[in-house]
């Protein structure tokens, strides 16, 4: 059995030399590229624009906009320099000569631009909404499930009466003229529920168990069960017992049950989480800057500022 031949020391040295030469060439190329990016292509007073800065600004443009400056990379660079960069820099120098940055309109806009740039930096550090994990989406979904799951709900109008005879009399009048105007008038004149008699007896949308999204409102489940037996737009054909009272009930409409999975609402949840994170990070940054940079605040002069709010006061 023959042993495999080992490479000679000379071949090994040649291979190592080749690797080192390739690394050297790569480093030399990188150094050359970096040096080229530092070359100044234009000077405007004390301001210098380098190749790298020019290329970075061009790279930030949408492709269709970049293409409008020429068909070749060299043409794009030259036209962008002469038509955009030079114009902006010269106008900026004109503004500097006129001290426009210190005048209120421009100063406010500069402050807003810097403020917006800071917020953009916060957003960039947080990353896009799409980067939020599905685990975070599911956690938010579980904590806010009621937003994405809702039972069938019924819009109910109801007139609460003291006796069955009173309720039957109201029901007969409504049956003869089943219009919202008539029902509202009867609710105003006869309903013992003063919380909604001026709203035509409108209870809003109520779930099967009598719960409502309106704070503090809960409807007798018996009223809902009676309404479930008729179609939308129909009166319950007889007075409904409601505790010690009797009700005339009109089912006005229905909202179907809703149940969305976490996957179905993931884009909306990611957007909500992203906005919350941006706000949290921005608020933290503002709090830190306020603690370290706000030197003094005295609001007392504002009381005598004479500011008109346009209210006629």
Distance, in Å, from the CA atom of 296 to the CA atom of 283, rounded to the nearest integer, reads 20
Residues 74, 166 within the same domain: no
Confirm whether 25 is domain-assigned.
Answer: no
Residues 132, 76 within the same domain: no
Angle at Cα 44 formed by Cα 39 and Cα 49, nearest 5°? Answer: 30
Residues 98, 219 within the same domain: no
Cβ contacts of 271 within 8 Å, gap of 6 or more: 129
Confirm whether 77 is domain-assigned.
Answer: yes
User: Residue with structure tokens 């403020």?
Assistant: 115
Confirm whether 270 is domain-assigned.
Answer: yes
Confirm whether 303 is domain-assigned.
Answer: no
One pLDDT digit (tens) per residue for the chain, 313 residues: 555 555 555 554 455 445 555 555 555 556 566 777 888 888 888 888 898 888 888 988 899 998 999 999 899 989 999 999 889 888 888 888 888 878 888 888 888 999 999 999 999 999 999 999 999 999 999 999 988 988 999 999 999 999 999 999 999 999 999 999 999 999 999 999 988 888 889 999 999 999 887 777 889 999 999 999 999 999 999 999 999 999 999 999 999 998 999 999 999 999 999 999 999 999 999 999 999 988 888 877 777 766 666 655 4
Q: What is the DSSP letter of 60?
A: T
Distance, in Å, from the CA atom of 220 to the CA atom of 227, rounded to the nearest integer, reads 11
Q: What is the pLDDT of residue 16?
A: 46
Domain of residue 117 covers 36-124
Residues 252, 156 within the same domain: yes
**Domain final position from 90, 124, 158:** 124
Cβ contacts of 126 within 8 Å, gap of 6 or more: 274, 277, 278, 281
Confirm whether 307 is domain-assigned.
Answer: no
Query: What domain count does the chain have?
Result: 3
pTM for the model stands at 0.55
Cβ contacts of 95 within 8 Å, gap of 6 or more: 101, 106
Q: What is the CATH number of the domain that holds 191?
A: 3.10.50.40
Confirm whether 306 is domain-assigned.
Answer: no
Cβ contacts of 204 within 8 Å, gap of 6 or more: 155, 156, 212, 213, 214, 217
Confirm whether 157 is domain-assigned.
Answer: yes
Contact 154, 254 (CB under 8 A): yes
Residues 248, 271 within the same domain: no
Residues 247, 268 within the same domain: no
Residues 160, 222 within the same domain: yes
Residues 83, 101 within the same domain: yes
Q: What is the pLDDT of residue 160?
A: 96
Contact 158, 204 (CB under 8 A): no
Residues 109, 238 within the same domain: no
């Amino acid at each position: 059995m023959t042993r495999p031949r080992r490479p000679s020391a000379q071949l090994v040295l040649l291979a190592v030399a080749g690797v080192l030469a390739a690394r050297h060439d790569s480093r030399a190329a990188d150094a050359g590229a970096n040096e080229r990016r530092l070359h100044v292509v234009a000077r405007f007073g004390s301001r210098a624009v380098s190749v790298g800065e020019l290329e970075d600004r061009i790279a930030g443009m949408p492709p269709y906009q970049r293409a409008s400056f020429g068909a070749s990379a060299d043409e794009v660079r030259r036209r962008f320099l002469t038509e955009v960069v030079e114009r902006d820099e010269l106008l900026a120098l004109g503004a500097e000569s006129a001290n426009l940055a210190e005048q209120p309109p421009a100063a406010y806009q500069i402050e807003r631009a810097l403020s917006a740039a800071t917020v953009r930096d916060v957003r960039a550090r947080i990353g896009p909404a799409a980067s939020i994990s599905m685990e975070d989406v599911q956690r938010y979904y579980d904590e806010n499930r009621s937003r994405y799951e809702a039972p069938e709900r019924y819009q109910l109008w109801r007139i609460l009466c003291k006796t069955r005879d009173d309720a039957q009399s109201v029901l007969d009048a409504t049956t003869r003229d089943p219009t919202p105007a008539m029902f509202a008038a009867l609710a105003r004149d006869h309903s013992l529920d003063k919380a909604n008699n001026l709203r035509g007896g409108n209870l809003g949308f109520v779930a099967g168990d009598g719960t409502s999204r309106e704070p503090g409102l809960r409807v007798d489940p018996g009223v809902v069960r009676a309404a479930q037996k008729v179609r939308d737009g129909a009166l319950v054909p007889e007075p409904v017992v409601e505790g010690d009272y009797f009700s005339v009930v009109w089912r006005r409409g229905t909202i179907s049950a809703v149940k969305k999975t976490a996957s179905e609402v993931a884009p909306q949840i990611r957007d909500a989480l992203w906005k919350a994170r941006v706000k949290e990070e921005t608020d933290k940054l503002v709090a830190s800057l306020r603690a370290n940079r706000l030197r003094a605040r005295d609001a007392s002069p504002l009381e005598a500022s004479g500011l008109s709010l346009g209210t006629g006061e």
